[in-house]
Structure 1
Amino acid sequence: MPIDLYYMPLSPPCRSVLLTAKAVGVDLNLKLLDLMTKEQMKPDFVAINPQHSVPTMVDGDLKLWESRAICTYLASKYAKDDSLYPSDPKTRALVDRLLYFDMGTLYQRYGEYAYPVMFFGQEKVDPTKLEKLHEALGWLDGFLAGHDWAVGNSVTVADFVLVASVSTFEVSGIDLSKHRNVTAWLARCKNGLRGYHEANTPGVNDIAKIAKKLVGK
């Protein structure tokens, strides 16, 4: 049976799932939901996911949301080996730490800075929120020191999750230049991740148009 993915390309969490699927070689049956017009509130979708959030995956009898859980599930079930989501407890813990870091700190701080202006009518950005985002990027810069990928020198699901966020920051006018490890890693992701431009770039380009609202704010 096909794996259904309810998604919206604008969403970095959705794009992290698309990147993971490319890496493991899984074809997804993509079902676009327009959150701007409240399609996620339709009864047939709420019946699948009562939290009415994207991404939402349906794989047989499994209905799963929360993007990072979907990424680790796809890597665990469909990857040819455990390199994307290592079975070694210590290495897996490092991957998990970065997934939680993205969810609770890095992407969270971007949303607090950018989304009030981009989507909710706030007139000006809060410069203190930008400072907090750069603080988180500084931590990421340190995490990336001394190796090519997020955890060591092999690609893991942490790279897919983090690059979906950081590439969004880049097109939102966030100056990444002071975070040299981040910019070098981002370049590696763009050039080295399987299916990067197909899975991530269209959504990044879409959000870049909306992110113009941040300029001069």
Structure 2
Amino acid sequence: MSLKVYFDLMSQPARAVVLFCKVNKIPFTPKPIALRKYEQQSEEYKRINPFQKVPTIQDGDFKLTESVAILQYLAEKYNVPDHWYPKDLQARSKVREYMAWQHMNTRMHCATVFIHEVILPRATGTPPDEDELKQHVNTMHTTLTAMEDVFLKDTPYLCGDKISIADLLGICEVEQVVASGRVVTAGRPTLQTWTDRVKTDLAPHFDEVHSLMHKLRDRSKKN
């Protein structure tokens, strides 16, 4: 099998890439990289990805180290339905618009809440600073409002009438936050409807790929 996918399911963009392959039945050799064990810092992995991050794909001798570029590459190389990354210039540009926006918005702010609410407390044994966390949560909600008021204002999906790789990135970003037990869609019916729709489209692979995040969520609720 030529295509290798290096990933850790704690990583939002890595989950998006794995999900895309599974939903579209793209054959690949899974190469899990345990970030918690610092396996990304090994000399072997550094030769594959000099940035020492996930996800990475290796297709024969060809390598890609950025999730957006990976999703675009896979959508164009494999015979996947056009709605994932439309060939129509304007439709494709709308998908690119979200993917350019999400780096400093959905991706950054949802990940920041996840890090401060889940990762750092688990690593240090110290609860988060409530004032600092509140600021991060408020910033995240500003981003979620933009998702609803701009990207989901007139369409059922982030970039049109059908699911695309933009929705794949978006749903993994939003789902990241639930690991703490936080209900990120509370009071947001538009976002709730969108998340329900996308999860249904990605079933059963969505729950499979997010099983670790959901275990963290269930543990947080129990505590």
1:188 equivalent to 2:197? Answer yes
In the superposition, relative to structure 1, how do residues 194 and 71 fare at CA in structure 2: closer, same or farther (>3 Å)? farther
Normalised TM-score (structure 1): 0.88
Q: Which runs of 5+ in 1 are unaligned?
A: none
> Within 1, Cα distance between the matches of 2:28 and 2:57?
9
In 2, Cα distance between equivalents of 1:116 and 1:198:
24
| Equivalence for 2:17 | 17
> SS at 1:100's partner residue?
helix
Q: CA distance change for structure 1 residues 199 and 16 in 2, over 3 Å: closer, same or farther? A: farther
Which of 24-33 and 164-173 deviates more? 164-173
The question of 1:205 aligning with 2:205 is answered no
The more displaced of 33-42 and 72-81 is 72-81
Pair 1:31–1:207, CA change in 2 (3 A): farther
Deviates more, 1:111-120 or 1:141-150: 111-120
Conserved? CA contact 1:95–1:151, under 8 Å: yes
* Whole-angstrom distance in 1 between the partners of 2:26 and 2:207: 14
Q: How does 1:68-147 map to 2 (within 5 A)?
A: 68-120=68-120, 121=124, 123-125=128-130, 126=132, 127-142=134-149, 143-147=151-155
Q: State the Cα deviation string for residues 141-166 of structure 1 (Å, max 9, x = none).
A: 12112322221111111111111111
Q: Quick check: 1:190–1:197 contact (8 Å CA) kept in 2?
A: yes
In 1, Cα distance between the equivalents of 2:56 and 2:37? 17
Change (3 A) 1:165 1:104: same
Q: Report the Cα distance in structure 2 between the residues aligned to 1:163 and 1:114, rounded to whole angstroms.
A: 14
Identity %: 24
**Aligned residue identity for 1:200:** V
Q: Please tell me the root mean square deviation across aligned C-alpha atoms, in Å.
A: 2.1
Whether contact under 8 Å (1:109, 1:132) holds in the other structure is yes
1:88 Cα deviation after fit: 1.7
Q: Which has the higher contact order (CA 8 A, sep 6+)?
A: 1
Structure 2: runs of 5 or more not aligned: none
Please tell me the residue identity of whatever aligns with 1:147.
Answer: T
Match in the other structure for 2:168 = 160
Cα deviation for residue 103 of structure 1 reads 1.8
Cα 1:107/1:71, change in 2 over 3 Å: same
Given residue 124 of structure 1, which amino acid in structure 2 is its aligned partner?
A: D
TM-score, with length taken from structure 2: 0.86
Name whichever of 193-202 and 159-168 sits farther off. 193-202
Superposed counterparts of 1:16-95, under 5 Å:
16-95=16-95
Secondary structure of 1:31 counterpart: strand
Task: State the secondary structure of the residue aligned to 1:50.
Answer: coil
Alignment size in residue pairs: 213
Q: Distance in 2 between matches of 1:101 and 1:170?
A: 22
Bigger mean CA deviation after superposition, 159-168 or 191-200: 191-200
- CA shift, 1:181, in A, is 1.2
Matches within 5 A, 1:172-183: 172=180, 173-183=182-192
Aligned-pair distance for 1:23?
A: 3.2
Q: Cα offset for 1:201?
A: 2.6
Stretch deviating more after TM superposition (139-148 or 53-62): 139-148
- What's the secondary structure of 2:84's corresponding residue? coil
Check conservation: 1:71, 1:157, Cα contact below 8 A.
yes
Greater mean alpha carbon deviation, residues 42-51 or residues 101-110? 101-110
